Structure 1
């Protein structure tokens, strides 16, 4: 399946501490619970687990039913052991839900976006994945804007605005009647125009990211070819000797010159591709969303 057709991923504020960010990313169920306003079920009451078997024990002790007394003790112990086994998990679960509520303004769920906004966010995430996973990025050749920091922040800013735009789209559809009375169209037009302008701006922003990713892909291909050529360049003396031994002198010199020219050409292509990628990155810096 084309990754562009997949829904976007959860987006978490990259400014959060790493441990908080990790717990939010690994708890999408609790994030959805928090968005829905749901709470945890009431915890097991330790007092009930102890008191009820205790009362039963007292009653049975009065009636001198020894076997029943042992059974009552067993029931109490089973209840207590179950509580001890379940309670740590419940505490961890409650903590994750509490974090989901506490940091509710620091994440965007895919389902909070309408379909067009989902697809736009997915395009932004795909572009960033391409850039961050590229060879030239890992080699530090296009770190003009500190990609590991700047690009996640860029996606976060886009996701926040898309979430707000989706919400306003839904409100807009609820408030504006499908069949407007004659002469009322112009009264509603500025609101529609405002939403369209916001969408256009965000779309342009994502296209900048995609342009950057496209240049990075191109740089990666040249980078790969450049590495291959360097491996061949290390054996240039062997090729020169072969030419000298087997080819007429004038023709040999021509071939040797071609070897040198080709190496210089690939090097130039590589430098140009890196420059173009950095230029594309610079466009993001010149018009920051944050």
Structure 2
């Protein structure tokens, strides 16, 4: 299941919000707006009560106090009362923002910084996006990555960047392919067809370049899978080695140790071989990572070669 692709420069909380509400993002893009929040009824009531109390006290002052000094004193007291009520009102918590309102606000602010799987990619691009996300998800969720056997810091930074760059290129490819197909569907003369041939070759070359990046990710994921299998087998052998003393004790007590000890000794050899295989697998994964890092530099963009990702707006 494809997920929303978000620019890595978007804050993590907002990116997670986008990924959890893809259908609502689609509605927002189509023009839907959430209902505004109702006014804070408790805050309004407090202001009304305070205003009524101030008006009543002021009338009492006018009716029963003739002395100007006393009247000024009561006026100052009323002013202090109003300030006190204002401070209490300022501490009153505002009505919480709904998920729809927060999503709408963030989607408007980060417009163009996320891509929707159901709308921004044609079928061929969607298949490549699937492969990209599956490879990245497997690498980041692997035990060898969690155990620090891979370059976890670079994985957490570089792989989301790879996903965004690949998705951005696939989105442009989808848009240009759709325009090209609509143009061809309307019919064209041989002269126009000849003029369009270089554009078709440009699309094919760009798609091949993006495919190469996806395949590099899949090769890296394949090396990580090898390391995962080696780590799993290594753990199982180590668990068996921990039981060796009990087996050796049983063999010694039964007098059969002369026959079976050589067989059990092979367990140690197997563990050593698996440990070497694990080291080799992790080393291969590191080499695949370096190759991926280098091969990702010259990104082929069908629209504007060398174009970098959009800078975040000043907020």
CA distance in 2, matches of 1:151, 1:211: 13
Following superposition, the deviation at residue 15 of structure 1 comes to 2.0
CA distance in 2, matches of 1:236, 1:143: 35
Following superposition, the deviation at residue 225 of structure 1 comes to 0.9
Equivalent position of 1:163 in the other structure: 171
Following superposition, the deviation at residue 94 of structure 1 comes to 3.8
- Candidates 194, 203, 212, aligned match of 1:186: 194
Following superposition, the deviation at residue 178 of structure 1 comes to 6.0
Structural mapping, 1:31-42, within 5 Å: 31-39=25-33
Following superposition, the deviation at residue 40 of structure 1 comes to 5.1
Task: Give CA-to-partner distance per residue, 1:216-246, whole Å, 9 cap, x none.
Answer: 1221111011011112223444455556641
Equivalent position of 1:133 in the other structure: 141
Cα distance change, pair 44–265 in 1 and its aligned pair in 2 (3 A)? closer
Equivalent position of 1:11 in the other structure: 5
Mean CA deviation greater in 258-267 or 120-129: 258-267
Pairwise CA RMSD of aligned residues? 3.0
Structural mapping, 1:184-223, within 5 Å: 184-223=192-231
2:3 and 2:19 in contact (8 A); partners too: no
Higher helix share: 1
CA distance in 2, matches of 1:17, 1:106: 11
Equivalent position of 2:108 in the other structure: 101
Structure 1: which 5+ residue stretches go unaligned? 1-5, 46-86
CA distance in 1, matches of 2:165, 2:197: 27
Cα distance change, pair 36–10 in 1 and its aligned pair in 2 (3 A)? same
Structural mapping, 1:31-110, within 5 Å: 31-39=25-33, 88=95, 93-110=100-117
1:145 and 1:281 in contact (8 A); partners too: no
Larger Rg: 2
TM-score normalised to the size of structure 2?
0.67
Q: Is the partner of 1:104 in helix, strand or coil?
A: coil
TM-score normalised to the size of structure 1?
0.72
Equivalent position of 1:22 in the other structure: 16
1:144 and 1:278 in contact (8 A); partners too: no
CA distance in 2, matches of 1:98, 1:261: 61
Cα distance change, pair 263–26 in 1 and its aligned pair in 2 (3 A)? closer
CA distance in 2, matches of 1:182, 1:256: 77
Cα distance change, pair 91–128 in 1 and its aligned pair in 2 (3 A)? closer
Mean CA deviation greater in 183-192 or 107-116: 183-192
Task: Give CA-to-partner distance per residue, 1:76-111, whole Å, 9 cap, x none.
Answer: xxxxxxxxxxx9588763443232122111100012
1:145 and 1:285 in contact (8 A); partners too: no
Question: 2:256 aligned with 1:246, yes or no?
Answer: yes
Structural mapping, 1:119-130, within 5 Å: 119-130=127-138
- Candidates 242, 245, 249, aligned match of 1:234: 242
